[in-house]
């Protein structure tokens, strides 16, 4: 019901935070580029000596792996910047070390035969530039305008960060996707994972409701088996259905003052704007996700398992789940009192 493309996205982009194969490959190639300049392993030394630079056009006999590294290097070029130090394995002609440009990009009277070495370190003596006398004065001034640092550290920097992690490369792969404005509503700190997953499915259209199955030419009864009024859909189940809305009222009393019955996204947005502490907000988010899970489980039981639970049983079930989770929180005393009060509310109502 949910495409793999939607699943394999960061949480902030509306996915489940599972990186795709393409994202993992992108991160691997970026990591290879980063380590070529900042580590001294046998592999990075060999790559630097044999290929010189990932920004150098690969030879037609180069491996598919190296061609993929070069293609990725072109895509992420603007994310990388160079810090010049005496021992940096910077390719003189191909790397964009000179005012964020390479010699190839500068063009003009610069030729590949102007310097005898392919690495920038041959032009540095100590911590000063040591240029051949054959270098034109305008080019010498341009080169000398780039400072040489005497501080130990990486010579290739990712997005101006002193440290870079694998997740940074993964995030770069998804940077062009639109940010999701509701992911914090369900992926909050105190969540129950399986409940948040069902809330996510409801928000992205992943639940097999009657209307969703009908679009796939699967015919089932369209009647809501919770209230036996209206047609089953995500919007009806959460929370247009009288039964589901009544459960929501029991746990979030303020919802009874809404002019209209809220949708799932509406109630989550209301919780996020609720004028209370972060503990109360997390509790309400937990309540909404728990209600979604229990209602969907009850719907499946009635449709496929011939199991029917009363409204009071569903409320008590939700109450027990909340009590078990909230009792582990700090500053939870007021919340437990609120949850315990639900028993008397249920008994009075029935």
pLDDT of residue 347: 37
Assign 350 a pLDDT band (cuts: 50, 70, 90): very low
Q: Do 237 and 225 touch, CB atoms closer than 8 A?
A: no
Q: Do 54 and 62 touch, CB atoms closer than 8 A?
A: no
Burial state string for 44-77 with b = 16 or more CB within 10 A and e = fewer than 16? beebbeebbbbbbebeeeeeeebebbbebbeebb
- Token pair recorded at residue 193: 């994972």
pLDDT of residue 337: 67
Question: Pairing mode, if any, of strands 124-125 and 128-129?
Answer: antiparallel
pLDDT in tens, 122-162: 888 888 888 887 777 888 888 888 888 887 788 999 999 88
Q: Who's near 154: CB < 8 A, 6+ residues apart? A: 34, 37, 38, 83, 162
What does the radius of gyration of the chain's CA atoms come to, in whole angstroms?
Answer: 30
Mean pLDDT of the region 106-121: 67
**Could you please report the per-residue DSSP string of 206-241?**
-S--HHHHHHTT-----B-TTTSSSB--HHIIIIIS
pLDDT in tens, 215-269: 889 888 889 999 988 899 999 999 999 999 999 999 998 898 888 899 999 999 9
pLDDT in tens, 75-108: 999 999 999 988 888 988 889 998 888 887 876 5
Beta bridge partners of 217: none
Is it true that the peptide bond before 239 is cis, omega within 30 degrees of 0? Answer: yes
Beta bridge partners of 119: 91
Q: What percent of the chain has pLDDT over 90?
A: 55
- How far is Cα 296 from Cα 261, in angstroms, rounded to an integer? 18
Ranked by mean pLDDT, the top range of 15-24, 272-281, 331-340 is: 15-24
Mean pLDDT of the region 309-326: 91
Cα diameter, the chain: 97
Assign 199 a pLDDT band (cuts: 50, 70, 90): very high
What backbone torsions phi and psi does residue 156 show, to the nearest 5 degrees? -115, 120
Q: Which residue has the tokens 């010579």?
A: 155
């Amino acid at each position: 019901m949910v495409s793999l493309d939607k699943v394999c996205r960061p949480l902030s982009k509306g996915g489940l935070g599972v990186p795709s194969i393409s994202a993992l490959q992108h991160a691997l190639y970026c990591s290879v580029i980063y380590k070529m300049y900042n580590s001294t392993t046998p592999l990075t030394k060999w790559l630097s000596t044999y290929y010189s630079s990932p920004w150098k056009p690969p030879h037609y006999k180069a491996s598919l792996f190296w061609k993929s590294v070069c293609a990725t290097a072109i895509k992420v070029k603007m994310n990388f910047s160079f810090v010049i130090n005496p021992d940096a394995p910077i390719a003189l002609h191909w790397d964009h070390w000179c005012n964020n440009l390479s010699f190839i990009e500068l063009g003009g009277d610069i030729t590949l035969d102007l310097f005898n070495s392919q690495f920038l370190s041959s032009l540095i003596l100590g911590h000063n530039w040591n240029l051949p006398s054959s270098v034109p004065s305008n080019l010498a001034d341009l080169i000398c305008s780039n400072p040489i640092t005497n501080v130990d550290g990486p010579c290739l920097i990712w997005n101006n960060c002193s440290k870079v992690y694998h997740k940074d490369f993964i995030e770069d792969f998804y940077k062009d996707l639109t940010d999701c404005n509701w992911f914090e509503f369900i992926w909050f700190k105190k969540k129950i994972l399986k409940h948040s997953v069902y809330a996510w499915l409801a928000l992205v259209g992943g639940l097999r409701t009657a209307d969703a199955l009908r679009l796939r030419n699967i015919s089932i009864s369209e009647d809501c088996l919770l209230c036996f009024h209206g047609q089953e859909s995500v919007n009806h189940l959460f929370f247009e259905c009288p039964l589901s809305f009544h459960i929501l009222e029991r746990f979030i009393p303020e919802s009874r003052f809404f002019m209209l019955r809220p949708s799932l996204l509406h109630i989550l947005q209301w919780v996020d704007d609720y004028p209370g502490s972060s503990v109360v907000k997390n509790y309400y988010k937990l309540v909404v996700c728990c209600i979604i899970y229990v209602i969907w489980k009850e719907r499946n039981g009635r449709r496929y398992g011939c199991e029917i639970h009363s409204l009071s049983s569903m409320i008590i079930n939700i109450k027990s789940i909340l009590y078990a989770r909230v009792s582990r929180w700090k500053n939870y005393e007021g919340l437990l009192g609120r949850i315990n009060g639900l028993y008397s509310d249920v008994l009075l109502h029935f």
